[in-house]
């Protein structure tokens, strides 16, 4: 899959009517709804029906199941996601007819035109951080527009078309589409090698973040991450305003006394104008770092004089879907689902789980995501999973990729078992995971289902089994 190349943008109204292929995707449905809300004629299709399509139908958006050339009648712009292959019949026909074809990032970028736009990126934490910024601006009365990577717990939606001039988005680096967005303020939470199927080398990947950040008038950097911190001097030499949020004494937003006691993460945030405590409702010291970055965005947007109010808003943030989200509690066992799919994310989530569970055990059920990532990071995944007490590893969730010979989830299980002998099981079949976990767990355990695929189905099934038991 090649990296997405930026294109020239026009206002959404000038692009319509617009047809969205795979409109039921998490990243596409919200954009389609926002186009409809600004008066653009919208249609869409997906390969299968879903509750998301029902939600779009409730907005009187014309959505269909299946792909057919008739969907293109009267359309001027066709929007596709990275998941859509070049062989898709609607995409092939749109190109043959000379219709405008936009990646979803271009459709989103067009909505950002003329707004005070904030684009949040990073290898980890971009969904939580962009949601924190959106919720912070909402609590400050700005009524921002936002499109983030998962539904915000407080609102149940991943998008909102606000009346204010601030527009917050999560900017995906995996396919290079973060270079498309016309951002005034960019955020880089961290930079650590990933998505090498697209970027090929860690150096290319890091250079992509520099190109992303250079496009903005101001950039917030997660100062506790070496990869993000390496961007500071090149950006300053390029004349970009840089605000660093981190633990270093010279950070613009300094984090003091960082700690996580029993799943309650807290610190003191210090700036030249303000200093005060921050106590989060979400666990993990990594989330304090995310909150400090969000606070720095608030300062850049002109709210630095409202430090106490910003800290209160961040303290009230309750998370997003699939970020340490409690699925159920049954038979004395807490089941939590998390999107972690990179070794660093696993370490952060498992560390937070250890703080939450107290004297209980941490039981991790991990589904590797993508064959290439499994191949590249199998040993690192094993090392991270060894932070748990008991581990179940599933087979690879392929997503957009074709299989790679010899690459299965067993590579990760073997790597974990070297560090945690006798406490790691490889379960190739997803449907077998709930029963395997039910046999292992005991009262007081915290069970984590981890990954970016369909491992989400395991937790509810496990809870049902425990309830029956």
Model pLDDT for residues 376-435, shown as the tens digit of each residue: 999 999 999 999 999 999 999 998 889 999 999 999 999 999 999 999 999 999 999 999
Flag whether 176 is in a domain: yes
Burial, 213: exposed, middle or buried (Cβ in 10 Å; 0-12, 13-18, 19+)? buried
Are residues 379 and 252 both part of a single domain?
Answer: no
Q: Are 258 and 125 within one domain?
A: yes
- Shared-domain flag, residues 221 and 266: yes
* Residues belonging to the active site: 126-127, 170
HSE at residue 423, side-chain half, CA atoms within 13 A, is: 18
With a pLDDT cut of 90, the percent of the chain lying above it is: 86
| Residue 197 scores a pLDDT above 90 | no
d(C-alpha 80, C-alpha 1), whole Å: 14
Phi/psi of residue 351, each to 5°?
A: -65, -45
400-406, long-range: CB within 8 Å, 24+ apart, which pairs?
400/1, 400/82, 400/83, 400/370, 401/197, 401/370, 401/371, 401/372, 402/371, 403/371, 404/371, 404/372, 404/375
Within this chain, do residues 449 and 302 fall inside the same structural domain, yes or no? no
Does residue 5 form part of some domain? no
Mean pLDDT of 29-43: 96
pLDDT at 469 exceeding the cut of 80: no
Above 80 in pLDDT, residue 468?
A: no
* 8 A C-beta contact, residue 104 and residue 35: no
Domain boundary among 62, 84, 104: 104
Give me the domain span that covers residue 176. Answer: 114-315
Q: Are 2 and 30 in contact (CB under 8 A)?
A: no
Query: Is pLDDT above 90 for 27?
Result: no
Q: Are residues 63 and 169 in the same domain?
A: no
Structure token digits, residue 456 = 């989400």
Greater confidence (236 vs 27) lies with 236
Average pLDDT value over all residues in the chain: 94
Picking from 51, 79, 104, the residue at the C-terminal end of a domain is 104
**Nearest-angstrom CA–CA distance, 463 and 119:** 37
Confidence of residue 263 (pLDDT cuts 50, 70, 90): confident
Do 224 and 296 lie in one domain? The reply is yes
Q: Give tens-digit pLDDT for 81-135.
A: 888 889 999 999 999 999 999 999 999 999 999 999 999 999 999 999 999 999 9
pLDDT value at position 2?
A: 76
Instruction: Supply 162's token pair.
Output: 């606000």
At 423-467, the pLDDT tens digits run 999 999 999 999 999 999 999 999 999 999 999 999 999 999 988
Whether the CB-CB separation of 342 and 275 falls below 8 Å is answered with: no
177 φ, ψ (degrees, to nearest 5):
-70, -15
Please tell me the distance from the alpha carbon of residue 158 to that of residue 339, in angstroms, as a whole number. 15
> Is the domain of 118 the same as that of 90?
no
- From 81, 104, 127, the end of a domain falls on 104
Q: In this structure, are 93 and 122 located in the same domain? A: no
Whether the per-residue pLDDT at 324 is higher than 60: the answer is yes
Do the domain assignments include residue 182?
yes
Q: Residues 433, 458: one domain?
A: yes
Q: Is residue 282 part of a domain?
A: yes
Determine what percent of the chain falls in helix, strand and coil, rounding each to the nearest 5: 40, 25, 35
pLDDT at 355: 85
- Residues 366 and 307 both lie in one domain: no
CA distance 302 to 77: 37
Kindly state whether residue 276 falls inside one of the protein's structural domains: yes
What is the dihedral sign for C-alpha 369, 373, 374, 380?
A: negative
DSSP letters for 239-255: T-EEEEEESSTT-SEEE
Sheet bearing 18-21, strands edge to edge: 62-65, 42-46, 18-21, 77-80, 100-103
Does residue 6 sit within a domain?
no
DSSP state of 5: P
For the chain, report the end-to-end CA distance as a whole number of angstroms.
46
141, pLDDT greater than 60: yes
Q: Considering the chain, what percentage of its residues have pLDDT values greater than 70?
A: 99
Q: What is the mean pLDDT of residues 349-373?
A: 94
Residues 355 and 266 in one domain: no
Domain CATH code at residue 301: 3.40.1190.10
Distance CA 187, CA 190 (A): 9
Alpha-carbon distance of 467 to 267, in angstroms, equals 38
Instruction: Please report whether residue 232 resides in a domain.
Output: yes
* Same domain as 287, residue 143: yes
Query: Mean of the pLDDT values across residues 265-277?
Result: 94
Q: Any idea what the CATH number is for the domain that residue 433 is in? A: 3.90.190.20
Q: Is residue 429 part of a domain?
A: yes
Q: How many domains does the chain have?
A: 3
Alpha carbons 282 and 325: distance in angstroms, whole number: 10
pLDDT at position 1 over 70: no
Three-state DSSP state, 207: helix
CATH number, position 86: 3.40.50.720
């Amino acid at each position: 899959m090649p990296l997405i190349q930026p294109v020239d943008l026009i206002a959404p109204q000038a692009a319509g009517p617009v047809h969205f292929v795979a409109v039921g995707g998490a990243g596409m449905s919200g954009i389609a709804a926002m186009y409809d809300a600004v008066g653009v004629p919208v249609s869409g299709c997906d390969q299968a029906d879903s509750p998301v399509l029902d939600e779009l139908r409730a907005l009187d958006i014309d959505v269909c199941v299946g792909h057919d050339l008739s969907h293109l009648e009267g359309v001027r712009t066709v929007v596709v996601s990275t998941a859509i292959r070049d062989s898709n019949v609607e995409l092939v026909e749109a190109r043959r007819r000379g219709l405008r074809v936009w990646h979803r990032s271009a459709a989103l970028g067009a909505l950002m035109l003329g707004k005070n736009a904030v684009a949040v990126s990073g290898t980890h934490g971009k969904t939580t951080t962009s949601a924190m910024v959106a919720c912070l601006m909402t609590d400050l009365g700005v009524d921002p527009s936002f499109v983030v990577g998962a539904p915000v717990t407080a609102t149940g939606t991943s998008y909102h078309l606000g009346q204010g001039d601030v527009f917050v988005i999560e900017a995906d680096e995996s396919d290079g589409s973060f270079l498309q967005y016309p951002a005034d303020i960019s955020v880089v939470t961290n930079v650590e090698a990933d998505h090498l199927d697209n970027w090929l080398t860690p150096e290319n990947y890091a250079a992509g973040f520099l190109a992303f950040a250079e496009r903005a008038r101001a950039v917030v950097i997660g100062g506790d991450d070496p990869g993000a911190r390496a961007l500071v001097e090149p950006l300053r030499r390029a004349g970009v305003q840089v605000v660093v949020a981190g633990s270093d004494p010279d950070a613009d937003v300094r984090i003091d006394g960082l700690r996580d006691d029993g799943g309650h993460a807290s610190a003191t945030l210090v700036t030249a104008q303000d200093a005060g405590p921050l106590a989060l409702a979400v666990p993990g010291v990594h989330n304090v770092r995310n909150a400090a970055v969000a606070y720095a965005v608030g300062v850049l947007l002109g709210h630095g004089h409202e430090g106490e109010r910003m800290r209160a808003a961040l303290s009230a943030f309750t998370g997003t879907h699939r970020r340490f989200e409690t699925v159920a509690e049954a038979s004395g066992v807490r089941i939590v689902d998390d999107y972690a799919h990179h070794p660093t994310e696993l370490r952060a989530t498992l560390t937070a789980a250890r703080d939450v569970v107290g004297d209980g055990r941490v039981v991790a059920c991990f589904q590797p995501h993508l064959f290439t990532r499994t191949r590249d990071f199998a040993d690192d995944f094993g090392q991270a999973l060894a932070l748990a007490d008991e581990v179940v590893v599933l087979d690879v969730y392929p997503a957009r990729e074709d299989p790679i010979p010899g690459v299965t989830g067993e590579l990760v299980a073997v790597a974990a078992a070297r560090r945690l002998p006798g406490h790691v099981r490889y379960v190739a079949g997803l449907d077998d995971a709930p029963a395997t976990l039910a046999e292992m767990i005991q009262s007081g355990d915290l069970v984590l289902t981890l990954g970016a695929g369909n491992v989400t189905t395991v937790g509810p099934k496990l809870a049902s089994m425990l309830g029956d038991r």
